[in-house]
Amino acid sequence: MKAKALVCWVGFTDLDCARGKEPGLGPVAQALTERSFQRVTLLSDANDADRKLYQTWLKKQTNTPFHLHHVKLLRGPMDFGDVYDRAVEAVLTTLEASKQAHHGGPELCFHVSPGTSVMAAVWIILAKTRFPAQLIGSKKGPQGVYDLSVPFEISAEYIGDLLQGADAALREQSEAKPPETPMFEQIVGRSKAMRKVKSLAFKVAPRSAPVLLLGESGTGKELFARAIHNASGKRGKFVSVNCGALSPHLIESELFGHKKGAFTGADKDRSGHFRTAEDGTIFLDELGELPLAAQVKLLRVLQEEEVVPVGESRPVKVNARVVAATNLDLNAKVAEGTFRGDLFYRLAVAILELPPLRAREGDLQILVDSLLQQINDKSRSEPGFKSKKISAGARSVISRHSWPGNVRELYNTLMRAAIWSDGESITKEEMHESLLSLPGSGDQGAFDRPLGGDFSLEELLDDVSRHYIQRALQDSNGVKSRAAELVGFKSHQRLGDWMDKLGIKEA
């Protein structure tokens, strides 16, 4: 007989019962006293004090062992995507723990009564799609805990009523797709573009085929490479190599190793990156920078699965999975003769194109929260540390920026703003000052921004005006009459009016 595993949220009613504000046991404790479960996974987004209080109280109500997990809902308990992702993670964790405990695949049970209507809807979707499970509910009184029967053919209608018409989101989230493992959790993003590329990366991870990651600088190519390696199940190391930083004279030695005495300075044997990555993954970043001579040698390694260390005559077998990345157009480089076509086609088996930040609708503010948390955690031990928050005005500035440097630029800008900010909250002005304006990027940023969402033509025009007035004031050493001439105003009074309008202070 299979072990039974219960997975559910801890709701407000449960917490109120533990506080003594509500009579009775609450839905969770009621289920644990009336039904038998071998494993119980409880999810809560409550604060530390409430979780500890509930955990202590629940242990007094039941002898059933349970695991209470703190779940951070970035957008709250009514955000469908947030709740769905956290629920899937909990089910996967429960299944894996059951396997490790030699219980095999347990009989899953989801309790729909605790938590919000969105949480209930998610359990129904999962039970009818990815994770077949028994559904239960509970009521006060003699009925107690009961089995909830929701036939598949009417489940969509039932869920639609719960969410008051959010049918499109339901259909999108209920599509069966590969489960997201903890290896991909660190890649923040729920946009359609990111979900697609993460799904493809998950599929290719356990394969031995080479992977080619394409995308602009700062889109997270190494992050994806590490996630693919971690999800592959390979026992060897993840070895990262920046091809653009390799010395032209030592590329073969760096990649394939050398024998002691093979050349001046070779005072001992060296394994090389490929042999170091044996049974693991070698990540060749900036692949397009690799010289043609080294490309020939790399092609042989891929074809023959062997390397010839410098100074050796016999080849050595290697078993390293190759993941390569570039922000260059390899097709164009092949056409101009600076990249070998045969190497390109050898590597281009599983191609993943990572979307730029401007194409990841809905991800920007989630990334802001995640990156700022990383910055706070990293800076916590530094002298004078203050945990930083971000104001609504600063978020508005972030939304209007085009982010040509993608996630890397966003992280560095937030780090810069956190350093310059004196208070606990980063202001709109501090965020403006933290943005970098690269030569030649201004027009592209102004004319290449996506429409819709947070786009505002008036705010964009204000940003452009603010930029040029500040430049004029700087070039004129603060002389307003001269600054007015530089931007084409007929008088310094008009410049002053614009400065007041845009919130520009005199130096």
Length of the chain, in residues:
507
Does 209 lie in the same domain as 68? no
Does 153 lie in the same domain as 192? no
Q: Please, are residues 351 and 212 in contact by the beta-carbon 8 Å criterion?
A: yes
Residue labelled with tokens 């039970």: 127
Residue labelled with tokens 């239960």: 136
Report the range of poorest mean pLDDT among 64-68, 175-179, 360-364, 369-373. 175-179
Structure-block tokens of residue 249: 């004279």
Amino acid making up residue 146: Y
Q: What is the 3-state secondary structure (H, E, C) of 443-468?
A: HHHHHCCCCCCCCCHHHHHHHHHHHH
The CB density around residue 261, as the number of other CB atoms within 10 Å, is 11
Amino acid making up residue 141: G
pLDDT at 168: 43
Amino acid making up residue 232: S
Does 398 lie in the same domain as 490? no
> 3-state class of 242 per DSSP?
strand
Task: Give the integer Cα–Cα distance in Å for 253 and 255.
Answer: 6
In a domain, 181, yes or no: no
pLDDT digits (tens, 9 = 90+) for 314-368: 888 999 999 999 999 998 899 989 999 999 999 988 999 999 998 888 888 889 9
Radius of gyration of the chain from Cα atoms?
Answer: 29
Residue labelled with tokens 């573009």: 193
**Strand 145-147 relative to strand 134-138, pairing:** antiparallel
Does 144 lie in the same domain as 27? yes
Structure-block tokens of residue 337: 């003769």
Helices (H), 113-220: 117-128, 152-162, 167-174, 192-204
Task: Give the integer Cα–Cα distance in Å for 85 and 362.
Answer: 15
pLDDT at 507: 53
Does 377 lie in the same domain as 350? no
Amino acid making up residue 306: E
pLDDT digits (tens, 9 = 90+) for 194-233: 989 998 998 899 888 999 999 999 999 999 999 999 988 8
Does 320 lie in the same domain as 388? no
Q: What is the mean pLDDT of residues 266-272?
A: 84
Share of the chain above pLDDT 90, in %: 36
Q: Which of 174, 204, 235 is the endpoint of a domain?
A: 174
In a domain, 179, yes or no: no
H/E run at residue 493: helix 492-502
Q: What is the DSSP letter of 357?
A: G
Does 339 lie in the same domain as 199? yes
> 3-state class of 236 per DSSP?
coil
Structure-block tokens of residue 412: 């560095």
Does 107 lie in the same domain as 55? yes
> 3-state class of 297 per DSSP?
helix
pTM of model > 0.85: no
Whether the pLDDT of residue 40 is over 90: the answer is yes
Q: Which of 152, 174, 196 is the endpoint of a domain?
A: 174
In a domain, 486, yes or no: yes
pLDDT at 127: 87
Residues 183/186/188/191 CA torsion (nearest 10 deg)? 0
pLDDT digits (tens, 9 = 90+) for 70-115: 988 877 888 888 888 889 889 988 888 877 665 567 889 999 999 9
Helices (H), 305-405: 330-336, 341-347, 364-379, 392-400
In a domain, 180, yes or no: no
Does 146 lie in the same domain as 35? yes
DSSP E strands, 259-367: 281-285, 306-307, 316-317, 321-326, 350-353
Does 257 lie in the same domain as 191? yes
Task: Give the integer Cα–Cα distance in Å for 108 and 448.
Answer: 49
pLDDT at 167: 38
Task: Give the integer Cα–Cα distance in Å for 165 and 462.
Answer: 38
Structure-block tokens of residue 107: 């009989």
CATH number for position 380: 1.10.8.60
> 3-state class of 158 per DSSP?
helix
In a domain, 333, yes or no: yes
Q: What separation in angstroms does the CA of 298 have from each of 70, 282, 336, 341, 349?
A: 47, 12, 20, 13, 16
Residue labelled with tokens 């599983």: 350
In a domain, 259, yes or no: yes
Residues 426/432/435/437 CA torsion (nearest 10 deg)? -170
Does 368 lie in the same domain as 349? no
Q: Please, are residues 60 and 92 in contact by the beta-carbon 8 Å criterion?
A: no
Closest CA to 404 of 224, 215, 187, 218: 218
Share of the chain above pLDDT 70, in %: 88
Report the number of distinct structural domains present in the chain: 4
* Domain carrying residue 485: 456-507
CATH number for position 106: 3.40.50.10770
Structure-block tokens of residue 312: 């050796």
> 3-state class of 71 per DSSP?
coil
Q: Which of 109, 144, 174 is the endpoint of a domain?
A: 174
Does 301 lie in the same domain as 247? yes
CATH number for position 481: 1.10.10.60
